[in-house]
Structure 1
Amino acid sequence: MTNKKVAVIGAGIGGLSAAVRLQKLGYQVSLFEKENQVGGKMNQINEEGFKFDVGPTIVMMKDIYEEVFEFAGVDPNDYLPFEKVDPAMKLYFDQNKSMKISTDLPDLIKNLESISEEDANGYLKFLSAMYDRYLVAKNHFLTRSYRSFRDFYNWSSLYNGLKLKTLSDAYSSISKFVKDENLKKSLAFQTLYIGISPYQGPSLYNIIPMIELFYGIYYLKGGMYTVAKAMEKLFKQLGGEVYLNSSVDEIVIENKKTEGIRINDKILSFDDVVCDADFPYAVKNLIKNKKYKGKYTDKKIEKMEYSCSCFLLYLGLDKKYEVDSLHTIHFAKDFNKNIDDLFKNNRLPDDPSYYIYVPSKMDDSVAPKDNEAVYVLVPVPELSKFDDWSDASIKEYRNLILDKIKSETNFKDIDEHIIYENHYTPKDFEIRFNAYNGATFGLKPTLMQSNYYRPHNKYNYADNLYFCGSSTHPGAGVPIVMQGAKLAVEELLKDEG
């Protein structure tokens, strides 16, 4: 047991993961959260008998979730009630063409062969190629952090970097394996999970559909928020302290050493600080002295590239519907234009792709009896690209989305059965969760904002300060952020000798 005290800023999934690890290692950990409940973007709306996950909804790589609990010496099954989801999701390309994504191999092959045997063969070759690249990424990049130039620019990293073949974009890489346009889209849209265009994002991110198929998709009773509550419970059981409604105003740095944090006018001393607040926001707002910002000046922060954001509808319905999948994706008629609107034209797509999640299909606890909880997500530009989220704009876009849902899905009369409604815009993500520019997935994972070039887990410009979260290495997505928290803790331990 060490007598050293650590402050963790932000109780998002990264902050919770770091806090659990450090508390288990014997540190005295205090977790500070500006909101009135833990979770960050992994939050929950709980009103009028309905429960809605605010942000992430798709559980992938469940072994990473479980590993934190195993590290703490407890059985994950006592905290995380996983349930396998199959089919993983249903994709709708138009009203006449759809595809079921199944983790059952015979079922998957049958679906692929219905398109063509050539594409079925190419699809399997694609998955094999992505698995090879995934192993390289996992063993040489995702599970290691960077401090110096030499950590990245060495023969091993360069050799393994070449194996990743990151120079081509995701869509072009897929096109080398399959010819059917809908099949290409079924493998390409997942780059939107981390807020980047499939036509611009490095082809490495094609590992996401491979991970879905090889490792499965799961559901947790009560929704994703179950993870945040379980980690809070574990942290407290280990002796950690959580301070809600506690917005940190400054990371206090003196003579390049992090001394603690300031809340209002009170300075709290800590030996180390782990920051899970969004990196661009934290450096711009919490580090007050310019000399400790290093290269991350306010001007640099503004010029960095940010992921897209999301417009979300949370709908409580007084009617059950025929729902054929927990997760469904509905593609725009012109997917290219949809992506261009998001990342080039900087406007709200007038024919957007959208995602529907209906947890009440599997879980009676998220809606009253004979009611439905429906979550609708539409990718939209971040606030520096588009910021007109007035009440009138929200109402107009909400109606456009509902009209599409009524004409394209089984929810034909959805507007007649809404008894509860809420929404989130990029401005809500900016205000509620300090997401810079309201970018839901943090910094865009371009080649020049990835690995060594992404903000480091050990802060370069002050000692005893560490970062995790979607804008830091290794990147966005719940399991990847949890991995980043692990790296931040390992960096802290390295400095402890």
Structure 2
Amino acid sequence: MTKTAVVIGAGLGGLSAAISLQHRGFQVTIIEKNSHSGGKLHDVQLGSAGFDFGPNTITMPHVFNNVLKQTGRKPEDYFEFVPLPRHTTNSFEDGSSFTFSSVKEDMKEELHALDPASADKYEAYRKEVEKLFRLADRHFLKRTFRSWKDFISLPLAKGLLSSRPLETMDSFHRRFFKDERIISAFNRYATYIGSSPFNSPATFGLIGHLELNDGVYYTKGGNYRIAEGLKKAAEESGVKFIYGEEVVSLTVQNGTISEAVTNREKTVPGDVFLLNGDLLSQYPRLVASEHRPSFTDKKAVSADPSVSAYVLMAASNKRHALNHHQVFFSRDPKKEFEDIFNKGEYSSDPTVYICTSSKTEPSRSPDGDNLFILVNAPPLSTEAGAHPFSKETVFEKLRRFGLDLSTSITDSMEVSPAVIEKRFNAYRGALYGLSSNKKKNTFLRPFNKASDLNNLYFAGGSTHPGGGSPMVTLSGQNVAELIVKHHLN
């Protein structure tokens, strides 16, 4: 008799797991509250301009490709990755700028123009961040954690201790670079995991390897095509989808979940259940407290959330002098992170990130640029509710850099942390679940399996191996393997 698996949430982790489970012999049903797959990674259309809401910087394309290759499919039939050698321009208020490049010689030239000493140490930096990535890839990224016993491993312990867990990212970067502009640009990697470079461990310096050694990519047609491609493969495999229904509870009997109940009073039975959503908000919502003594409500609400975001998607009738990725930095990045994480408020001088995919693919916005503008936001307060922020603050900031967008915008859409919280069930509007500002959150994220239930598993950014589109896709692969091992064989 075919075993059944129910996946709650059609994000990248859920799609990834569903494809693997269906391929290995399960009958999989995905239940998704929204009308689209991909979670935060989906398409938004404003007039003739198309936007990716969700990950704009794509790394590790092999992770997405491998989901399809395992089933015998050709990835190029589902999505196509375009390399961006000179991918991110870092701009500063003194008028200077430099561009990140995956071409070593180009990168050294960029650094040399600002600080020759930093350029001289770039080769040593590249080798060190590659080492950090190899350690993580060998010991951490492809693992699942069901209990504390899974941490009792000498190779794992050695790997973790070798990955600079006690040094901050800021301190790590200062080993190689002296110019504050360069340090600020590299420190921004901490925001990829929703954290501060002054608190998060140097372990995540490995992001530098992904961007500068391995490379940054764009998905032809829009990055949302990754989600569309995985959805197509899932459907071809026989995965069933239920859209526009939200799971409101999981029925538990003797430590085993028997069914998912939706807001339309539909019951979906299953042998195994996978929660691909924000574990911090959804596990307590779906499972009554008496069935999860190891994950109490108090434990859930005491979690340290990652950053949230204020997003402005703006269709322009002009082509602006922007790179595909461009960052306009704060005058005082340390104060900016203190404002967000210590004071719980927006910085008065925020760093502004703009993704303009029309620079690489003009057809995404044929009548002018598609400006995806993001400002790091504090997670929603448990007391004060939504944080106020205005696009005028963004426009004022950019005008200081000589970029006046206000007169060219024909249509726009704002997305606040409160909207992110509601639309994606994100704990306090956080983009990446837990922050990595505390060392334990880096390596001791919630387990991939519920401790108190024998058939509930977790995938996504709030569990191992962490946030970011490749990581959540990996989490789906890792958990699918765990489910096969314990429920199919």
What aligned pairs does 1:150-299 form with structure 2 within 5 A after superposition?
Answer: 150-264=149-263, 265-288=265-288, 290-299=289-298
Aligned equivalents of 1:339, 1:79: Cα separation in 2: 39
| Corresponding residue number in structure 2 for 1:27 | 26
Q: Contact 1:346/1:385 (CA < 8 Å) preserved in 2?
A: no
Please give the secondary structure, in 1, of the residue aligned with 2:62.
Answer: helix
What aligned pairs does 1:76-475 form with structure 2 within 5 A after superposition?
Answer: 76-264=75-263, 265-288=265-288, 290-323=289-322, 325-367=323-365, 369-384=366-381, 387=384, 389=386, 393-394=388-389, 397-409=390-402, 411-412=403-404, 414-445=405-436, 446-451=438-443, 453-475=444-466
Q: Contact 1:90/1:327 (CA < 8 Å) preserved in 2?
A: yes
Aligned equivalents of 2:439, 2:73: Cα separation in 1: 38
Structure 1 266/298 Cα, relative in aligned 2: closer, same or farther at 3 Å? same
Aligned equivalents of 1:484, 1:272: Cα separation in 2: 16
Give the partner amino acid of 2:368.
Answer: N
Q: Contact 1:93/1:330 (CA < 8 Å) preserved in 2?
A: yes
Q: CA offset at residue 117 of structure 1?
A: 3.7
Q: CA offset at residue 121 of structure 1?
A: 2.7
Aligned equivalents of 2:114, 2:373: Cα separation in 1: 29
List per-residue Cα deviations over 1:345-364 (Å, max 9, x = no partner).
21111100010111111223
The two structures have a TM-score, normalised by structure 2, of 0.96
Please give the secondary structure, in 2, of the residue aligned with 1:260.
Answer: strand
Please give the secondary structure, in 1, of the residue aligned with 2:396.
Answer: helix
Q: CA offset at residue 126 of structure 1?
A: 2.0
Deviates more, 1:483-492 or 1:122-131: 122-131
Please give the secondary structure, in 2, of the residue aligned with 1:273.
Answer: strand
Give the partner amino acid of 1:344.
Answer: N
Aligned equivalents of 2:97, 2:286: Cα separation in 1: 48
Q: CA offset at residue 156 of structure 1?
A: 2.0
Please give the secondary structure, in 2, of the residue aligned with 1:461.
Answer: coil
Please give the secondary structure, in 1, of the residue aligned with 2:273.
Answer: strand
Q: Contact 2:24/2:484 (CA < 8 Å) preserved in 1?
A: no
Structure 1 402/116 Cα, relative in aligned 2: closer, same or farther at 3 Å? closer
Across the two proteins, how many residue pairs are aligned to each other?
486
Structure 1 349/21 Cα, relative in aligned 2: closer, same or farther at 3 Å? same
What aligned pairs does 1:46-61 form with structure 2 within 5 A after superposition?
Answer: 46-61=45-60
Aligned equivalents of 1:148, 1:223: Cα separation in 2: 38
Alignment match of 1:484 (pick from 468, 475, 482)? 475
List per-residue Cα deviations over 1:170-214 (Å, max 9, x = no partner).
001111222121121121111101100000001101111221011
Aligned equivalents of 1:76, 1:178: Cα separation in 2: 39
Q: CA offset at residue 386 of structure 1?
A: 8.1
Please give the secondary structure, in 2, of the residue aligned with 1:159.
Answer: helix
Please give the secondary structure, in 2, of the residue aligned with 1:52.
Answer: strand
Q: Contact 1:278/1:442 (CA < 8 Å) preserved in 2?
A: yes
Q: CA offset at residue 380 of structure 1?
A: 0.8
Aligned equivalents of 1:13, 1:5: Cα separation in 2: 20
Give the partner amino acid of 2:409.
Answer: I
Please give the secondary structure, in 2, of the residue aligned with 1:249.
Answer: strand
Question: Percent of counterpart pairs with the same letter?
Answer: 29
Structure 1 48/117 Cα, relative in aligned 2: closer, same or farther at 3 Å? closer
Please give the secondary structure, in 1, of the residue aligned with 2:196.
Answer: coil
List per-residue Cα deviations over 1:294-341 (Å, max 9, x = no partner).
322111111111101000000011222233x10001110111111111
Q: Contact 1:42/1:53 (CA < 8 Å) preserved in 2?
A: yes
Please give the secondary structure, in 1, of the residue aligned with 2:56.
Answer: coil
The two structures have a TM-score, normalised by structure 1, of 0.94
Q: Contact 2:93/2:400 (CA < 8 Å) preserved in 1?
A: no
Q: Contact 2:294/2:451 (CA < 8 Å) preserved in 1?
A: no
| Corresponding residue number in structure 1 for 2:73 | 74
Q: CA offset at residue 46 of structure 1?
A: 1.9
Please give the secondary structure, in 2, of the residue aligned with 1:416.
Answer: coil
List per-residue Cα deviations over 1:62-99 (Å, max 9, x = no partner).
11111111112111111112111120210012242111
Give the partner amino acid of 1:52.
Answer: F
Give the alignment's Cα RMSD to 1 decimal. 1.6
Aligned equivalents of 2:216, 2:383: Cα separation in 1: 33
Please give the secondary structure, in 1, of the residue aligned with 2:414.
Answer: strand
Give the partner amino acid of 2:465.
Answer: P
Q: Contact 1:89/1:101 (CA < 8 Å) preserved in 2?
A: yes
Structure 1 105/41 Cα, relative in aligned 2: closer, same or farther at 3 Å? same
Q: Contact 2:98/2:111 (CA < 8 Å) preserved in 1?
A: no
Deviates more, 1:55-64 or 1:259-268: 259-268
Aligned equivalents of 1:152, 1:444: Cα separation in 2: 20
Deviates more, 1:203-212 or 1:441-450: 441-450
Q: Contact 2:108/2:122 (CA < 8 Å) preserved in 1?
A: no
Please give the secondary structure, in 2, of the residue aligned with 1:314.
Answer: strand
Q: Contact 1:347/1:386 (CA < 8 Å) preserved in 2?
A: no
| Corresponding residue number in structure 1 for 2:63 | 64
